[in-house]
């Protein structure tokens, strides 16, 4: 698998085997030789900027040095002690704007050290080694912790809490754990069922049970959990998606990109997932890119990604934008959707050109149409506030203090549902771990 995708070899529709191959690993793992060569490029900086740039503050120079000395177990433990989901983060972190973006090698005009790839080398190496789980639980505290949501924040919180000696019950609405790692990332970033393998690895610590099919507002409520547990952690993410607010949004073929991505991840065969011939993706984030690139790889003839502002303002990283381009996705900038065409089923969309005027985005009055038999909306996710009644919400997110405690004593929150940094896996992992530490302090107080 490579980053580049050239489509059908003969103009005919791709066969199932080729489509399946299109979803192979986009970043093939480093070989032993590559890992040694790359690790030797690291300068072993002191007070390294890459560590500062990492939301989980992984001691990057140390773990890379450990790779170079052949100490893979030690290297993986260095990573995982800061970030228990170091395996997923190695695959999906926007390293170009985090660790690798701050690598001092950039300052000398050299390529940054491939930190993400090296991290994967170490963590995968450990997971393949068939060794005991590298972390231990402290003596039992007898305290019970409820975690709502088995995504990166919840699982990170659960692992760190289990290490502290608490007993953790995780409540998950879906049938599988992993959250967006399992349901929300492009398939070519998370091959070989990595999300589930990582969950299994994380649960080896012991002291964590997961109850599936239990959603907040459904089988469980904040009140009941608060009564039964000594502390509660909310890691529910953002459960709702934004709407375009256009007439005809309910037409057949207008879907959430999140659902499209989830379907692809859960499908036994990728060809089971329906894809249009003319696909329009609305949005400028990594979700939009994941949907657009996968639509192309699934066999759509034309995929157009439309974003209302410019490339600079896209939250998708430059790497992701480049990925879309080398996969044949057309990117149209400075355009906002103004109409959905079709009779019961979407047939096209109309857009208005936009511009910035006096600091505000305005329509220019110039419009154009694109044919579309599938529209994937990726214009942001929002907090599903209903089941959280009673909690203080601020700016669309659960309000927490410096200790990750919500407005209700003993109830903590982290991940995409609170406002810390970017909505990234790595940020959620950090929130979960730090909240777990705050909960332990709270329980000991």
Partner 1 sequence: MADLRCKIGGVESINPFWLASAPPTDKKYNVVRAFEAGWGGVVWKTLGIDPPVVNMSSRYGAHHDSNRGVLGINNIELITDRPLEVNLQEIREVREEWPDRVIIGSMMAPVEENAWKTLAVKIAESGVQGLELNLGCPHGMCERGMGSAIGQVPEMVENVTRWVKEVVDIPVFTKLTPNITDILVPAEAAYHGNADAVSLINTVNSIVSVDLDAMAPTPTVDGKGSHGGYCGSAVKPIALNMVGEIARNPETRDLEMSAIGGVSNWRDAAEFIALGASGVQVCTAAMLFGFRIVEDMIDGLSNWMDEKGYQSIDDFRGMATPNTVNWNDLNMNYDIKAVINKDECIECGRCHIACEDTSHQAITKVAKPGGGNEYTVIDDECVGCNLCLHVCPVQDCITMKRVDDGQSHLTWPEHPLNPMRLAAE
Residues that bind partner 1 (CB under 8 A): 33, 36-37, 39-40, 43-49, 52, 68-69, 104-105, 107-108
Tokens of 176: 């599988």
Least separation in angstroms between residue 416's CB and partner 1 is 25
CB 119 within 8 A of CB 127: no
Least separation in angstroms between residue 129's CB and partner 1 is 17
Which residue number, 75 or 335, has a Cβ lying nearer to partner 1? 75
Least separation in angstroms between residue 117's CB and partner 1 is 16
Least separation in angstroms between residue 58's CB and partner 1 is 17
Q: Transcribe 305-333 into DSSP letters.
A: EE-SS-GGG-SS-HHHHHHHHHTT-EEE-
Give kind and range of the element (H or E) at residue 434.
helix 425-444
- How many angstroms separate the CA atoms of 196 and 179, rounded? 10
Least separation in angstroms between residue 66's CB and partner 1 is 12
Which residue number, 107 or 361, has a Cβ lying nearer to partner 1? 107
Tokens of 154: 């919840």
Which residue number, 37 or 129, has a Cβ lying nearer to partner 1? 37
Least separation in angstroms between residue 39's CB and partner 1 is 7
CB 60 within 8 A of CB 48: yes
Which residue number, 37 or 382, has a Cβ lying nearer to partner 1? 37
Q: Transcribe 269-280 into DSSP letters.
A: SGGGS---SEEE
99, 101, 103, 105: CA torsion to nearest 10: 150
Least separation in angstroms between residue 34's CB and partner 1 is 11
Which residue number, 102 or 327, has a Cβ lying nearer to partner 1? 102
Name which of 57, 41, 163 is nearest 105 in CA terms: 41
- Angstrom CA distances, 410 to 54, 229, 274, 277, 345, stand at 28, 9, 45, 51, 49
CB 155 within 8 A of CB 176: no
* Tokens 């995929």, located at residue: 303
Least separation in angstroms between residue 359's CB and partner 1 is 24
CB 191 within 8 A of CB 211: no
Which residue number, 2 or 52, has a Cβ lying nearer to partner 1? 52
Neighbours of 247 (CB within 10 A): 9
Which residue number, 107 or 355, has a Cβ lying nearer to partner 1? 107
Least separation in angstroms between residue 102's CB and partner 1 is 9
Which residue number, 43 or 389, has a Cβ lying nearer to partner 1? 43
Which neighbouring-strand residues pair with 167? Answer: 144
- How many angstroms separate the CA atoms of 156 and 166, rounded? 14
- How many angstroms separate the CA atoms of 23 and 14, rounded? 13
Give kind and range of the element (H or E) at residue 155.
helix 152-163
Which neighbouring-strand residues pair with 350? Answer: 339, 369
Least separation in angstroms between residue 150's CB and partner 1 is 35
Q: What is the DSSP letter of 51?
A: H
Which residue number, 52 or 140, has a Cβ lying nearer to partner 1? 52
Which residue number, 74 or 415, has a Cβ lying nearer to partner 1? 74
CB 63 within 8 A of CB 115: no
Phi-psi region of 217 (alpha: psi -120 to 50; beta: other; left: phi over 0): left
């Amino acid at each position: 698998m490579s980053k580049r995708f050239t489509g059908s070899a003969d103009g005919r529709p791709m066969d199932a085997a080729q489509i399946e191959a299109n979803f192979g690993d986009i970043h093939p793992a480093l070989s032993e030789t590559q890992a040694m060569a790359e690790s030797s490029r690291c300068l072993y900086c002191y007070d390294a900027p890459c560590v500062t740039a990492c939301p989980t503050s992984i001691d990057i120079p140390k773990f890379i040095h450990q790779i170079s000395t052949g100490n893979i177990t030690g290297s993986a433990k260095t990573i995982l002690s800061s970030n228990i989901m170091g395996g997923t983060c190695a695959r999906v972190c926007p390293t170009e704007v985090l660790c690798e973006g701050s690598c001092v090698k950039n300052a000398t005009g050299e390529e940054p050290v491939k930190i993400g790839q090296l991290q994967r080398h170490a963590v995968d190496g450990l997971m393949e080694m068939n060794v005991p789980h590298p972390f231990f639980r402290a003596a039992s505290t007898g305290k019970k912790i409820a975690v709502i949501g088995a995504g990166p924040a919840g699982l990170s919180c659960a692992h760190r809490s289990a290490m502290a000696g608490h007993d953790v019950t995780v409540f998950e609405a879906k049938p599988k754990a992993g959250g967006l790692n399992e349901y929300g990332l492009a398939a070519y970033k998370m091959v070989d069922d990595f999300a589930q393998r990582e969950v299994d690895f994380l649960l080896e610590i012991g002291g964590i049970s997961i109850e599936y099919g239990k959603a907040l507002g459904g089988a469980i409520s904040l009140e009941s959990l608060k009564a039964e547990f000594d502390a509660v952690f909310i890691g529910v993410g953002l459960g709702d998606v934004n709407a375009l607010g256009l007439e005809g949004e309910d037409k057949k073929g207008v879907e959430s990109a999140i659902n499209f991505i989830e379907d692809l991840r859960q499908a036994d065969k990728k060809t089971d997932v329906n894809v249009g011939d003319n696909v329009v993706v609305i949005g400028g984030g990594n979700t939009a890119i994941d949907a657009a690139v996968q639509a192309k790889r699934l066999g759509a003839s034309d995929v157009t990604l439309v974003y209302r502002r410019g490339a600079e303002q896209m939250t998708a990283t430059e790497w992701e934008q480049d990925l879309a381009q080398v996969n044949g996705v057309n990117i149209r900038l400075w355009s906002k959707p103004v109409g959905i065409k079709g009779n019961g089923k979407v047939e096209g969309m109309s857009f208005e050109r936009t511009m910035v005027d006096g600091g505000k985005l305005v329509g220019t009055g110039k419009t154009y149409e694109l044919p579309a038999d599938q529209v994937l909306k990726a214009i942001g996710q929002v907090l599903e506030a209903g089941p959280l009644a009673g909690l203080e919400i601020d700016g669309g997110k659960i309000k927490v203090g410096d200790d990750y405690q919500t407005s209700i004593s003993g109830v903590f929150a982290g991940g995409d549902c609170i406002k810390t940094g970017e909505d990234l896996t790595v940020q959620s992992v950090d929130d979960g771990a730090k909240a777990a530490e705050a909960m332990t302090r709270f329980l000991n107080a």
